[in-house]
Structure 1
Amino acid sequence: MTGDEPDAVIAVVGSYNHDMSVTVPDLPVPGETVMGEGFVQNAGGKGSNQAIAAARDDGEVAFIGAVGDDRFGESARELWAEEDIDDSGVLSVDAPTGAALIHIEESGENAIAVAPGANHELDGASVREKRAAIEGADVLVTQLETPIESVQAAATVGEAAGTEVVLDPAPAQELPDELVAAVDVATPNESEVRVLAGHAPDADIEEEEAARTVLDRGPEAVVVTLGADGALVVTDDQTVAVPPIETEVVDTTGAGDAFNGAFAVARGDGTDLIAAAERGVAAGAAACAERGAVPSLPSRSTIDSYLDD
């Protein structure tokens, strides 16, 4: 993108969570109290993470979601202001801001409890009230950490407006046909594409076969994110494997969100599916090189450097 070109306009509908984690020698069993260390608080939620990822890749981003009228909600709005994200579509509700409580065992295993809180207050009517952000966007990105009715409303508005609808179907769950039919590009991982195709997450079928079943439900493309193996772009006409980019893996948290943010900006810039997926893979690789979700989400120049290597 040169200075004379407009930024890709991205609307994101989704979740925000305040993550709190502590490292423990062993995960506690029921009734047990364990002493931990390394208490860390971070911003989280797939929706917010993907909005930040798109903004750092020079997208013009508007976020639609819900937070509580509490200090966690205040810190979320401060973060979005720092990232130059339009949060006028974020509701302040009576419910507490979503939170995730994470125990991390020294071996690397973890146990997570999520209290969705305000995220579950985002309903279809609220999304439709904020429809202008979706209608004015080049690309809409949404996920499944808010009620399905909010995702359905967003996709329906986007479809009617001619906005490209990108769905990250996580966490994996069965979805109504009318929602899947409104999606232009689905970006599942290996297990999510199987669920979206009507199988168990560990079903013994190839990703391409599952992706083609998803295509039959309406999307124009399925881009399967494969972690260390890159990505797979599947359309009616072709299947293209996008190779991985080597990086020193420090923490994979946020890599999928980095992929989706960069992919959406590339699509908003008019980039074809293959090149957009390549940019997403580069963003995901860059995110793996740093700890934490938000701290690891790469800038545009960082993504460019991974593509140039």
Structure 2
Amino acid sequence: METLSSIESFVRSAELGSFSAAARRLSMTPGGVSKNVAKLEADLGVRLFYRSTRSLKLTEAGEHFLAQVTGGLDAIQTAIANASREGGQPAGTLKVALGLAFGRDHILPLLGEFLTLYPAIKPDWRFDNRQVDLIGEGFDVAIGGGIVLAPGVVVRELAPIHLVLVASPAYLKSKFMPQTPAELYKLDALVRYSQTSNQITPWNLKTVAGNQATIELQPRVTLNDPEALCHAAMASLGIAHVPMPHALQHLESGKLVRVLPDWYTEHGVMSLYFSAKKLMPAKTRVFVDFIVDKFRTQQLAKKWSAI
């Protein structure tokens, strides 16, 4: 296993371009990664990297060695992950990336049942409203919407994402209930700043009948989190345009109501993302199947539909 660790340190350093980045991926220190690579070079009798204070570049021998070992390393690691079972159960650390509010409200409540089924799996879940580098950061799974599909990553769809307009009953009582998209310009807009596009997101609305309207309002409040937008709307600060997974519980409680209920926005699909390995580790496979089954049995695709 010592040689395998050295090879993994080499491969990740080559992929990520530095010992520090490889160390973060492997949960090691940069010194530990550098030591592993140095030992591998000593064992092979060749230099694999040109090193400087600012860069790490493969030598010709390093390029040839990387091409020969990369696929084999992934296959060996998958075989080890599948063989490392406790009592016949999938085992190992399961690193998952989740959005803050979405993960907390919809995925975290499932964790107890998942651990009962698979007690040898150790969840390592990271809650953050950003798109992660699934492979580069060493995640087994990411759950979210609108994630750019990078090479080596596959997707399994869970539910369409619809955005709807919401406001508090008190706010609408103090103003009025709009009947057309044009009347939205008379009300206070709570708008979202997209960290992906680095701009304010317009409201691209449509109806089942095929009507369309693009609304770009002057913001009364600008926020970068959909759950924060829901809370701002519940505080009667204005009208928000938010995903149904965030709005549903507040609509069911009556704290928010739909504005222009015939209008909505299609915003991609909530999906599971994972590495496209021929042999998926057992811990990843059972987690993916578990989440897909929960979305099906809880009928979340139907509940989150704005239609």
Q: TM-score, normalised by structure 2?
A: 0.26
Q: Which has the larger radius of gyration?
A: 2
Using CA pairs below 8 Å that are at least 6 residues apart, which structure has the higher relative contact order?
2
